[in-house]
Amino acid sequence: MGRWGIVALAALTVMGTACSPSAAETATSDEAAISTTRTPRITDDSGRPPVAFDPCYDIPDDVMNAAGYDAAKKELADYPMGTYTFLGCSYRKDDFVPGVRRGFNLSILSGNVSFDEELAKNGHIATETSINGRRALLEVDSSDRDACAYALETDFGIAIFSRLYNADHVGPAPQSEWCLGMKELVIEIEPFIAK
């Protein structure tokens, strides 16, 4: 897994220290509607385009709630790296199935690295696909157990949807289950991403 994948996994594990929940809790569907005029939370000096999609503000809470993720508990994260920037948002889905799974952690990252950079970095674990006609990568690394990610091309860079399957047993879930339902979730959210 490369740098951006590490950023996605770090987002899942350190959101409590790298976020501002009070700011995330104030995001509403009305704010999402005006997102195209909002100044990005973070910019960098790289000369790359500003990140025009902010997952915590541009995805309506009712969409995430309908998908089973508790939007009231979403958490913001910012990753200004100097030469690129990621804006992140994490969600939990607690759909406990005894002996099977405890739920999912979902991290959505929006960054100003190019799709081609992502393909060069993770092409060895990626399968090219499309989501609603948008160029995308399905990334599954067998050494990164219980994880599934989609990277979608945008005008400013990429949006990454990274989900961790929390098994309710010792050892990993079967690899065939890591991405179950993930494509459908990404298809549902994709229209909210700035083109």
Tell me, yes or no, whether 38 lies in a domain: no
Amino acid identity of residue 62, one-letter, is D
What's the pLDDT at 59?
Answer: 96
What's the pLDDT at 135?
Answer: 97
What's the pLDDT at 18?
Answer: 37
Characterize 6-27 residue by residue with b for buried, 16 or more Cβ atoms within 10 angstroms of its Cβ, and e for exposed: ebbbebbeebeebbeeeebbeb
Give the range of the structural domain holding residue 61, as residue numbers without chain letter: 3-31+48-192
What distance in Å separates the CA atoms of residue 8 and residue 139, rounded to the nearest whole number?
Answer: 12
CA distances from 18 to 25, 82, 176 (A): 15, 17, 32
Residue 124 burial (C-beta neighbours within 10 Å; 0-12, 13-18, 19+): exposed
Tell me, yes or no, whether 176 lies in a domain: yes
- pLDDT 10s digit of each residue in the chain, 195 long? 444 544 444 444 433 333 333 344 444 444 444 444 567 777 777 788 999 999 999 999 999 999 999 999 999 988 777 789 899 999 988 876 666 566 778 999 999 999 999 999 999 999 999 999 999 999 998 877 788 999 999 999 999 999 987 766 666 767 778 898 999 999 999 999 976
Residue 176 burial (C-beta neighbours within 10 Å; 0-12, 13-18, 19+): exposed
The pLDDT > 90 percentage for the chain reads 48
Tell me, yes or no, whether 37 lies in a domain: no
Read off the pLDDT of residues 13-58 as tens digits, 9 standing for 90 and up: 433 333 333 344 444 444 444 444 567 777 777 788 999 999 999 9
What's the pLDDT at 110?
Answer: 95
**Considering its fold, how many domains does the chain have in total?**
1
Tell me, yes or no, whether 160 lies in a domain: yes
Tell me, yes or no, whether 52 lies in a domain: yes
Tell me, yes or no, whether 141 lies in a domain: yes
Tell me, yes or no, whether 41 lies in a domain: no
Tell me, yes or no, whether 39 lies in a domain: no
